[in-house]
Amino acid sequence: MSNIPQIILASKSPRRQELLRLMDVDFRVVLKEVDESYPEDLSPEEVAVYIASKKAEAFDESIGDEVVLTADTIVCVDGLILGKPSTAEHAIEMLKMLSGKVHKVITGVCLLHKRHYNKFFDVSEVFFRKLSDDEITSYVNEYMPLDKAGSYGIQERIGLIGIEKINGSYTNVVGLPTEKLYQQLKNL
Query: Which of 24, 72, 134, 147 is the catalytic position?
Result: 72
Cα separation, 42 vs 187, whole angstroms: 28
Q: Is the pTM of this model over 0.85?
A: yes
Instruction: Tell me if 47 sits within 8 A of 84, measured CB to CB.
Output: no
Q: What is the CATH number of domain 7-186?
A: 3.90.950.10
Instruction: Tell me if 106 sits within 8 A of 94, measured CB to CB.
Output: no
Instruction: Tell me if 8 sits within 8 A of 59, measured CB to CB.
Output: yes
Q: Catalytic annotation on 41? A: no
The per-residue pLDDT for range 97-118, each reduced to its tens digit, is 999 999 999 999 999 998 899 9
Instruction: Tell me if 6 sits within 8 A of 27, measured CB to CB.
Output: yes
The per-residue pLDDT for range 36-60, each reduced to its tens digit, is 999 999 999 999 999 999 999 998 7
The domain locations on the chain are 7-186
